[in-house]
């Protein structure tokens, strides 16, 4: 069993990551912490609880964290994730409250309470983690592992020419977090964080065919809006008609994401970055990594937020990240269909 804390900015692919974690029998979700990123932090907390409630996981503690980056103004991405962060999907307001704990307190408390037992998976900007590290520098030693979705190490960015969104939103926090793990590794000799950047997460490309497969795995009527035959033709229809409520949610959220990628990336489908990071935290064999030295640019006129990676070892500094350089995307997507489709099958009778 892998104990997870997920730090999220729930958006569409974060929502898919939450469903993947809930559908994974080897995952124990200790808590979920929320940070501003794809959408404002308060909406992130609402989205997170609504998604968990959809699949009966209102037992998971959800904590609100930082609502803005360390030193910069918050940027959000409604053009990518929709006005409420979940694309065309609409879920009932969650019936259960947020945690009494602030996300930063939760990260520190749980790491101290179970040293070496909890894997931290960050799927948004690293603001909560940076603040926690400033208060408790021993966190790198206290967490079992840190797996992050963030950075662009050997590929173009998705925000600026060389920057990835999560690092772009709060590059100062990324610099703090990378430096803290580096200093702790030098002192205590523990392992490096595993970083999944755009280099590998853009191989996790979900298509309408996968959505139909999800519906079939759930025993749901295949979704008309994302059917293989009809693709984009019904892009402006009212909403999913799938008989399963979880499949309806997935289809309506992903349809927005697929339309975004169709406009900007030239294909009708979507990169589901965050679920791949969760999958790699549960099964490290899904990715191949290379030990590299990475720093974060803070002062560039064109490159602020770039994860500068020393591929030729010219700095002469010890590696501080295990950067994913390859991923078994096909196996991951098969598991995504099986696990999320299976989870949907278990919750076929949730009210609309």
Average pLDDT over all residues of the chain? 94
* Domain boundary residue, one of 215, 236, 269: 269
Three-state secondary structure call for residue 206: strand
For position 258, what pLDDT does the model report? 96
Do 85 and 183 fall into the same domain?
Answer: yes
**CATH code, domain carrying 308:** 3.90.245.10
Q: Does 352 score more than 90 pLDDT?
A: no
Instruction: Output the pTM of the full model.
Output: 0.96
* Domain boundary residue, one of 269, 295, 311: 269
CA distances (Å), 144 to each of 7, 194, 268, 277, in order? 15, 12, 38, 16
For position 230, what pLDDT does the model report? 46
What domain count does the chain have? 2
For position 237, what pLDDT does the model report? 54
Furthest C-alpha separation in the chain: 58
Do 216 and 200 fall into the same domain?
Answer: no
Q: pLDDT of 246-305, one tens digit each?
A: 999 999 999 999 999 999 999 999 999 999 999 999 999 999 999 999 999 999 999 999
Give domain status of residue 46, yes or no: yes
Do 55 and 107 fall into the same domain?
Answer: yes
Measured torsion, CA atoms of residues 12, 16, 17, 20, in degrees rounded to the nearest 10: 180
Do 68 and 93 fall into the same domain?
Answer: yes
Do 209 and 154 fall into the same domain?
Answer: no
Nearest to 340 by CA among 275, 271, 256: 275
Do 159 and 305 fall into the same domain?
Answer: yes
Do 52 and 113 fall into the same domain?
Answer: yes
Token pair listed for 239: 């909403």
* Domain boundary residue, one of 247, 269, 291: 269
Question: If pLDDT is split at 50, 70 and 90, which confidence band does 234 have?
Answer: very low
Give domain status of residue 344, yes or no: no
Active site residues per annotation: 273
Do 290 and 261 fall into the same domain?
Answer: no
Q: Does 130 score more than 80 pLDDT?
A: yes
For position 269, what pLDDT does the model report? 96
For position 350, what pLDDT does the model report? 62
Give domain status of residue 88, yes or no: yes
Do 83 and 146 fall into the same domain?
Answer: yes
Do 12 and 113 fall into the same domain?
Answer: yes
Please tell me the least confidently modeled range out of 66-70, 183-187, 322-326. Answer: 183-187
Range of the domain at 217: 205-269
Do 156 and 220 fall into the same domain?
Answer: no
């Amino acid at each position: 069993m892998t104990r997870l804390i997920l730090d999220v900015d729930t958006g569409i692919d974060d929502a898919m990551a939450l469903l993947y974690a809930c559908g994974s029998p080897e995952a124990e979700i200790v808590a979920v912490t929320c940070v501003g990123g794809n959408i404002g932090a308060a909406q992130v907390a609402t989205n997170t609880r609504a998604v968990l409630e959809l699949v009966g996981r209102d037992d998971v503690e959800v904590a609100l964290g930082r609502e803005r980056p360390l030193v910069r103004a918050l940027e959000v991405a409604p053009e990518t994730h929709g006005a409420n962060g979940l694309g065309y999907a609409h879920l009932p307001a969650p019936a259960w409250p947020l945690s009494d704990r602030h996300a930063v307190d939760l990260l520190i408390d749980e790491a101290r309470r179970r040293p070496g037992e909890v894997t931290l998976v960050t799927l948004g900007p690293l603001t909560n983690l940076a603040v926690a590290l400033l208060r408790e520098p021993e966190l790198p030693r206290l967490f079992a592992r840190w797996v992050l979705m963030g950075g662009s190490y050997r590929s173009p960015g998705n925000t600026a020419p060389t920057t990835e969104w999560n690092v772009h939103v709060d590059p100062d926090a990324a610099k703090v977090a990378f430096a803290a793990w580096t200093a702790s590794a030098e002192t205590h000799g523990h392992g490096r964080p595993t970083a999944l950047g755009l280099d590998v997460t853009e191989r996790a490309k979900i298509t309408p065919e996968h959505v139909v497969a999800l519906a079939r795995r759930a025993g749901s009527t295949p979704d008309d809006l994302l059917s293989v035959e009809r693709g984009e033709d019904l892009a402006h229809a009212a909403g999913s008609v799938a008989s399963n409520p979880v499949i309806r949610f997935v289809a309506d959220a992903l349809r927005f994401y697929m339309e975004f990628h169709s406009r900007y990336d030239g294909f009708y489908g979507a990169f589901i970055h965050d679920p791949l990071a969760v999958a790699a935290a549960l099964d490290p064999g899904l990715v191949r990594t290379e030990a590299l030295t990475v720093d974060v640019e803070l002062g560039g006129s064109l490159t602020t937020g770039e994860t500068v990676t020393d591929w030729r070892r010219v700095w002469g500094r010890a590696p501080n990240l295990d950067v994913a350089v390859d991923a078994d995307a096909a196996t991951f997507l098969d598991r995504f269909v099986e696990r999320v489709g299976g989870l949907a099958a278990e919750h076929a009778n949730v009210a609309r």
